[in-house]
Amino acid sequence: MNSPAALPSRHERPFLILILALYLLVTLAYGVINPLFEAPDEHWHFFTAVYIAETGKLPQVAADYDTWLSQEAAQPPLYYLLSALLIAPIDSSAARDTVWLNPFASIGDADDLTNLNRAIHGPWEAWPWQGYALAAHVLRIFSTLLGLGTLLFIYGSGRLLWPDDGRKALLGTAVIAFLPQFNFLHASISNDTLITCLSAAAIWQILRLVREPDGIFRSPSTVQRLLLLGITIGLAALSKTAGLLLLVYAVGVVGWLWLGQQAFKEWKPSRATLQPLFVNLLILVLPALLIASWLWWRNWNLYGDITAANQFIRIAGGDRHYTFWQVLGESDGLWKSFFAIFGWFNVRPPAGVFWIWNGIVLAALIGALKNITKRHLPSLSTLLSPHTPLLLVIWLLLVYAGLVTFMMQTEAAQGRLLFPALIPLMAALVYGLTRWSWRGVYALPPLLALATTVYCLVGVVRPAYALPPLLDTLPATAQRLDAEMGQGLTLVGAAVETETAVPGAPVTLTLYWQAAAQPAIPPEFKLEIFGRDMALGGELHSYHGRGLYPATLWPPQQIVADRFSLYLDAAMETPVLAQIFVRLVAEGASGVRVGAVKVTPTAWTETAETAVTPLAQLGDSIQLLAAQLSADTASPGDTIFIDVTWRATGAPGADFTTLIHLAAAGQPPLAQADSPPLGGSYPTRVWAAGEVIVDRYTLVVPPDGLRNGRYPIWLGMYDSNLARLSLSSDGQRQPNDVFQIGWLTISQTHQNE
């Protein structure tokens, strides 16, 4: 970076050093706090490097591929070759036997509440690092240093774009340096870090070429610079297939510069006019081909595809044949993951983080549009000028087009795949922000960016992998159970935090476990939430500690406070007092009831009955709104359904049973259908004011002993002591505290339809 315009001035240097130092501090902290292999594909990248370090040869994807390497075995090898050199002195031979992948891991779903961890983490990963843990952290630091290189090229590009205002270069560098996804990526083991760095290096070199005052076809330094650019592109092609896009782009830029030089001359194609173009293209392309063509030849022979992309698609489940419009439907995930999605695409920060970054982008967009509307459309000479921003826009579009093409074949809506285009994105952001005359525009966006990435580190990533606390005694707020669950585990107690929920909402609870001794095999547990008729309304199958803390890691005799959440089934029938059971997934293991949660409709449905005067008032807090018999004539042995609508005007506070009697007034019942409302699945003790409960009762007419005639049906309620609730209708207390809801005619000759 020997161009004077690319070097920081004396006043800028301290700010640049501060930005880079803060980047290193934050990113290294991400690398320590985020557990190993909790980044997309990280363990595959690691084991690919280990394979090369141990065997001294490149891997390949066989039909029965190595699942520890997966599709990374088909990746361009430069990142893995460099990584293998770095970890060669470290003994990682026990890695495959030690790394413990979580079989219940939730991959790619940021809505999940448990099993966010791809791996189980134990003392073998703790400081001081040894063996494979040391090797993995060395590679994470390598990625962090590659990110530092990317930032230097971003700063250098900013100085080339705005040679008279170094503040803009600092602004662009700072915003990228504190982009949470940039920090997270560069704290992980990933070949994306190398292609991002080499892409930034190539774009910086291209910007230097187009800023040559005499043009690249007359500059004495052209050969050296084109040669260096070709080498950079060749190395990029050995890092990831995006390097091929760089080669196409660089060739296009050289041709564009040549066209701009010839645009306003009267010339005819001749050897003299075309020779400079062909010579410069040869200087550019030849080193790239010498460096990378062997890989394309190898891929073609092994896979029939010079990019080996067909292996990625095969391992991912085959070509999904998406259209462009279907790919656009995944733009929300692509957009958010450009800023801040962690873990295996399953740890998402709160909406406020995205609001801040959306605000920064929106401010830049408005600033850019405000300036553009004041200017005329560019002329042809401007479009052909080597200084035009179209050069950067084209690179951004080329990267996006490559990603879209890949997304049409397989799932790949991950923002990090746009990082090779960070320089154009930085330039657009800085251009828009600096259209505002407010001086604070140079400080506020970097400060906001820094705040978001620090928050994501300590407030999002760290809690996502926090182990449950260890206790000596059961908290007073928990229900004591002392249930022997098998495999040496005791469920000491439980506390259900969520009292009321709606379908699709989370239920949070804490289970308090204790192990007499560490089990030999990690127990799996199941938590099940049952609704009406014991229909399953929610389920979690997992290791303990949200999937992070299997019982084989517990200290004996201490209580593990396992707090977690799970979603109710969105189609769960309501209202219901859902019952929660826990069991170990082992032969003969039985479930233990640990509590209940009231599940209500999202909104209580208004019916025609709710607007009318109630038929009867039962006690102080229950109204009978409607009662309807399914038939008014029946034969002995027939079944009659009685649909009842209740409304709670307050909290009954106790359990009541509905009385349904077929009987003459004041006489013992001839038939009855007494039952708690909704068969006991939604007891009256949990009813609340404003709730409308649609209920049904089943009355079976006795098969014999009834004479033909017309019989009244009565309704009331009674408590656990068989004491009836007071019942009034039209303000009048009813005899025996029952209300006649209809008549049933018994006919020996009647036949139900």
Spatial distance between the Cα atoms of 452 and 137, rounded to a whole number of angstroms: 24
Closest CA to 79 of 162, 186, 226: 186
- Residue 399 CA, chain-centre distance (Å), reads 24
What's the pLDDT at 626? 94
What's the pLDDT at 213? 56
Spatial distance between the Cα atoms of 459 and 336, rounded to a whole number of angstroms: 17
Res. 568: pLDDT tops 70? yes
Closest CA to 72 of 57, 86, 51: 51
What's the pLDDT at 749? 65
Handedness of CA 288, 290, 295, 298 (dihedral sign): positive
- Over range 666-692, report the average pLDDT: 94
Does residue 493 lie within any of the structural domains?
yes
- Over range 213-230, report the average pLDDT: 77
Spatial distance between the Cα atoms of 729 and 739, rounded to a whole number of angstroms: 8
pLDDT digits (tens, 9 = 90+) for 30-83: 999 999 999 999 999 999 999 999 999 999 998 889 999 999 999 999 999 999
Reported as a pLDDT band with limits 50, 70 and 90, residue 752 is very low
Q: Pull the structure tokens for residue 414.
A: 């991950």
Domain boundary among 399, 432, 461: 461
**Across the beta sheet with 657-662, what order do the strands follow?**
633-634, 739-746, 709-718, 657-662, 671-672
What's the pLDDT at 4? 47
pLDDT digits (tens, 9 = 90+) for 265-279: 555 565 666 777 888
Does residue 203 lie within any of the structural domains?
yes
**Residues 419 and 477 grouped into a single domain:** no
**Residues 353 and 485 grouped into a single domain:** no
Res. 750: pLDDT tops 80? no
**Residues 397 and 483 grouped into a single domain:** no
Spatial distance between the Cα atoms of 379 and 497, rounded to a whole number of angstroms: 66
Q: How many residues does the chain have?
A: 753
Domain boundary among 415, 440, 461: 461
**Residues 612 and 532 grouped into a single domain:** no
> Which amino acid is present at 406?
F
Spatial distance between the Cα atoms of 712 and 665, rounded to a whole number of angstroms: 8
Does residue 560 lie within any of the structural domains?
yes
- Over range 2-13, report the average pLDDT: 65
Spatial distance between the Cα atoms of 218 and 212, rounded to a whole number of angstroms: 9
Handedness of CA 15, 17, 18, 19 (dihedral sign): positive
Q: Show Cβ contacts of residue 267 under 8 Å, excluding neighbours closer than 6 positions.
A: 273
Tokens 């939730």 correspond to 106
Would you call 494 helix, strand, or coil by DSSP? strand
Res. 629: pLDDT tops 90? yes
Res. 463: pLDDT tops 60? yes
DSSP summary character for residue 347: B
Does residue 752 lie within any of the structural domains?
no
**Residues 405 and 447 grouped into a single domain:** yes
Q: Are 664 and 712 in contact (CB under 8 A)?
A: yes
The CATH number that applies at residue 497 is: 2.60.40.1930
Does residue 685 lie within any of the structural domains?
yes
Lowest model confidence (mean pLDDT) among 175-189, 266-280, 296-310: 266-280
**Residues 682 and 552 grouped into a single domain:** no
Spatial distance between the Cα atoms of 531 and 596, rounded to a whole number of angstroms: 10
Share of the chain above pLDDT 90, in %: 80
Burial (CB count within 10 angstroms: exposed 0-12, middle 13-18, buried 19+), residue 561: buried
Closest CA to 597 of 513, 674, 530, 527: 530
**Residues 124 and 26 grouped into a single domain:** yes
Spatial distance between the Cα atoms of 456 and 310, rounded to a whole number of angstroms: 35
- Over range 568-591, report the average pLDDT: 91
Number of compact structural domains in the chain: 3
**Residues 488 and 637 grouped into a single domain:** no
The CA-based angle 83-84-90, given to 5 degrees, is: 105
The CA-based angle 67-71-75, given to 5 degrees, is: 135
Spatial distance between the Cα atoms of 509 and 498, rounded to a whole number of angstroms: 7
Closest CA to 247 of 279, 216, 208, 292: 292
- Over range 606-630, report the average pLDDT: 86
Closest CA to 513 of 540, 478, 541: 478
**Residues 197 and 68 grouped into a single domain:** yes
**Residues 434 and 578 grouped into a single domain:** no
Handedness of CA 416, 419, 424, 426 (dihedral sign): positive
Q: Pull the structure tokens for residue 644.
A: 């009842």
**β pairing state of 633-634 and 739-746:** parallel
Reported as a pLDDT band with limits 50, 70 and 90, residue 351 is very high
**Residues 456 and 474 grouped into a single domain:** no
Closest CA to 527 of 535, 513, 519, 538: 538
Q: Is 401 left (phi over 0), alpha (psi -120 to 50) or beta?
A: alpha
Does residue 751 lie within any of the structural domains?
no
Q: Pull the structure tokens for residue 164.
A: 């008279």
Reported as a pLDDT band with limits 50, 70 and 90, residue 373 is low
Q: What are phi and psi of 701, to 5 degrees?
A: -70, 130
Q: Pull the structure tokens for residue 192.
A: 């994306």
- Over range 231-247, report the average pLDDT: 96
Angle between helices 42-55 and 131-161 (to 10 degrees): 110
Would you call 342 helix, strand, or coil by DSSP? strand
Spatial distance between the Cα atoms of 53 and 55, rounded to a whole number of angstroms: 6
Tokens 């690691």 correspond to 46
Lowest model confidence (mean pLDDT) among 135-139, 389-393, 540-544, 669-673: 389-393
Tokens 């807090």 correspond to 621
What's the pLDDT at 607? 63
Q: Pull the structure tokens for residue 464.
A: 């996502």
Res. 144: pLDDT tops 80? yes
Does residue 184 lie within any of the structural domains?
yes
Q: Work out the end-to-end distance of the chain between its first and last CA atoms, rounded to an integer number of angstroms.
A: 92
Lowest model confidence (mean pLDDT) among 144-158, 194-208, 450-464, 607-621: 607-621
**β pairing state of 639-648 and 692-700:** antiparallel
Map 593-642 to HEC letters: EEEEEEECCCCCCCCHHHHCCCCEEECCCEEEEEEEECCCEECCCCEEEE
Mean pLDDT estimate for the chain: 91
| No. of helices (H) and no. of strands (E), the chain | 20, 23
Q: Are 195 and 175 in contact (CB under 8 A)?
A: no
Reported as a pLDDT band with limits 50, 70 and 90, residue 1 is very low
**Residues 535 and 665 grouped into a single domain:** no
Res. 587: pLDDT tops 70? no
Spatial distance between the Cα atoms of 652 and 339, rounded to a whole number of angstroms: 50
Question: Residue 559 belongs to what domain range?
Answer: 470-599
What's the pLDDT at 419? 97
Would you call 501 helix, strand, or coil by DSSP? strand
The CATH number that applies at residue 691 is: 2.60.40.770
Closest CA to 751 of 641, 586, 638, 669: 638
Domain boundary among 542, 564, 599: 599
Higher-pLDDT residue of 451 and 664 is 451
Does residue 753 lie within any of the structural domains?
no
Q: Pull the structure tokens for residue 388.
A: 């035009």
Radius of gyration of the chain measured on its C-alpha atoms: 35
Spatial distance between the Cα atoms of 577 and 151, rounded to a whole number of angstroms: 56
What's the pLDDT at 229? 96
Q: Show Cβ contacts of residue 290 under 8 Å, excluding neighbours closer than 6 positions.
A: 234
Q: What is the DSSP string of 667-726?
A: S--SEE--B-GGGGTS-GGG--TT-EEEEEEEEEPPSSS--SEEEEEEEEEE-TTSPBPP
Q: What are phi and psi of 524, to 5 degrees?
A: -105, 140
